[in-house]
Amino acid sequence: MKLYSQKDVDKKALKGATICVLGYGSQGRAHALNLKDSGFHVVIGVRKGDSWKKAKKDGLPVAEPAQAVVGADLVAMLAPDLAQKQLYQDVIGNLKKGATLLFAHGFNVHFKQIKPRKDLDVVLIAPKGPGDLVRRQYQQGRGVPCLIAVAQDASKKAFDKALGYAHGIGGTRGGVLETTFGEETETDLFGEQAVLCGGATELVVKGFETLVEAGYQPEVAYFECMHELKLIVDLLHEGGIWKMHKFISETAKYGDLTRGPRVVNKKTKAEMKKILKEIQQGKFARQWIRENATGRKKYDKMLKTDLNRQIEKVGFNLRSRMPWLDQGRG
């Protein structure tokens, strides 16, 4: 394993480059502003609307996507995953020969939704954190670690260009780890589904429901299962399991070691393996693409149900008394 840092950057690789960022959501805005602050000429490609207005307000030149890519040396595809296929088709005719096409997630290349032109360098820079964190860390002189990959190296300089981009958004401060489009895509999807989003939220909700169904106050259940989660996550993020054990009580440690494996057990791991297999075989991708193609009815229904849980209502009322928790992200 090699972790690339600032000293590994070839600053000539993107010297004088024009970078077009397609999309101005969480990642798009963070990348664009960081690149601008790093001295790059950045153009935003979005359709007229809220994102257009936001980019203008941030002092960035904006154009419709097909126009924004004209003359760009590097085009960063930072629109939502399932908008990228059509977006690529809309702009490909205006991408100059030998340009670099960059992704922050390998989904569309790995699952062959986008088949890039042969003359293009195709690279990946995937920050391991949400856009608002990428921006905040950069402004603090820090950086969110990134993954780097090359799917197509037409110029024989694709890696250097990608690393230069990572440097521009602050990634080389935290370290840049080499991977492949496939590894990044499959591990990212697995982490989201089984641990970070799906796994964590279901664990919190089931714990909350268990306490409430046993007759405990919903507010107390919320504090125990949701509110205090940040304390543990911060400790794990800062120093791993070791730091968590250092700062929690002996009673908590004993409960962790003896009860934790009963909750997340061999059956849980077996289900995780099934989820990973579905990702590797493309089953999840096909299902998600089909859901979008048919109007997202099931998705919208599930999301509405998820946000209508009792824990959400209780949490909303409690958090309204703690306005400092809302840092105005985005």
CA distance 41 to 19: 6
- Coil, strand or helix at 57: helix
Cβ(325)–Cβ(319) under 8 Å?
A: yes
Q: Which of 31, 105, 110, 167 is catalytic?
A: 105
CA atoms within 13 A on the CB side of 309: 17
Cβ(123)–Cβ(109) under 8 Å?
A: no
Cβ(241)–Cβ(216) under 8 Å?
A: no
105 is catalytic: yes
CA distance 39 to 15: 10
Residue with tokens 């419709």: 64
Task: Determine whether 124 is exposed, middle or buried from the number of CB atoms within 10 Å of its CB (0-12, 13-18, 19+).
Answer: buried
Cβ(47)–Cβ(102) under 8 Å?
A: no
CA distance 125 to 128: 10
CA distance 272 to 265: 11
Which 8-state DSSP code applies to residue 82? G
Distances (CA, A) of 183 to 124, 147, 280: 11, 10, 10
Torsion-angle region of residue 60: left (phi > 0), alpha (psi -120 to 50) or beta? beta
What amino acid positions are annotated as catalytic residues?
A: 105
